[in-house]
């Protein structure tokens, strides 16, 4: 399980905590997985591991009161992308729009478009039903559209495509 999903769980933790904290969190996730191995359904390991990682990240944030690593990462990348030419402003607009969204909206959009989870898997990570996730995704899309639309003019259809295209470009 670690060989199949360890890198993805680390990437998730590193996006939110960075460095050594992410390594510690991955260790905790797989310690929990080892203890609960019999309860993990086959084929559902990845969403289950991400759900554990999410809860541990939230616990870490409450305990240490740190800012989300994603916000810091988005902010730092916005200033480092001048070498990308014409698309730099586009990427900066996407990152700035994401940074303006509430944490839950940002997380819903990133799970769906950045980490490429389907609705059922995303719901499992968030600990909600697929229907609840669909509603959250719909609302998050609308909020992203509104924020992005204020930053950049263009056809409405390309805005969520911008998020997806940007996410694919950073992988």
Angstrom distance (rounded) from CA 73 to CA 45? 27
Which residue in 121, 154, 98 sits closest to 43, CA to CA? 121
Instruction: Specify whether 82 is located in the same domain as 111.
Output: yes
* 161 vs 53, residue with greater confidence: 53
Picking from 19, 38, 64, the residue at the C-terminal end of a domain is: 64
Binned at pLDDT 50, 70 and 90, residue 66 comes out as very low
pLDDT tens sequence across 134-151: 999 999 999 998 888 876
Is residue 119 located within the same domain as residue 77? yes
Q: Residues 82, 135: one domain?
A: yes
- pLDDT at position 67 over 80: no
Residues 74 and 137 grouped into a single domain: yes
Residues 54 and 83 in one domain: no
Whether residues 57 and 76 share a domain: the answer is: no
Global confidence as pTM: 0.52
Query: Quick one: 95 and 159 in the same domain?
Result: yes
31 and 85 inside one domain = no
Domain holding 165: CATH number? Answer: 1.10.10.10
Give the Cα separation of 140 and 88 in Å (integer): 24
CA distances (Å), 156 to each of 48, 108, 146, in order?
34, 20, 10
C-alpha neighbours within 13 Å on the C-beta side of residue 37? 6
Q: Look at residue 47 and tell me whether its pLDDT is greater than 80.
A: yes
Do 90 and 138 have their domain in common?
yes
Instruction: Provide the residue range defining the domain that includes 116.
Output: 69-170
Tell me, yes or no, whether 91 and 30 share the same domain: no
**Residue 60: left (phi > 0), alpha (psi -120 to 50), or beta?**
alpha
Domain count, the chain: 2
């Amino acid at each position: 399980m670690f060989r199949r999903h360890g890198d993805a769980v680390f990437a998730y933790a590193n996006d939110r905590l960075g460095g050594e904290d992410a390594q510690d969190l991955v260790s905790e996730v797989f310690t929990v997985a080892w203890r609960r191995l019999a309860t993990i359904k086959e084929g559902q390991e990845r969403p289950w591991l991400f759900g554990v990682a999410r809860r541990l990240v939230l616990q870490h944030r409450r305990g240490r009161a740190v800012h989300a690593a994603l916000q810091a990462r988005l902010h730092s990348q916005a200033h480092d992308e001048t070498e990308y030419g014409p698309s730099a402003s586009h990427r900066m607009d996407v990152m700035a729009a994401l940074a303006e969204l509430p944490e839950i909206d940002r997380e819903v959009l990133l799970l769906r478009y950045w980490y490429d989870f389907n609705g059922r898997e995303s719901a499992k990570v968030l600990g909600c039903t697929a229907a609840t996730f669909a509603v959250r995704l719909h609302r998050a899309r609308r909020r992203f559209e509104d924020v992005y639309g204020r930053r950049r003019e263009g056809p409405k259809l390309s805005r969520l495509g911008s998020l997806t295209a940007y996410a694919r470009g950073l992988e």
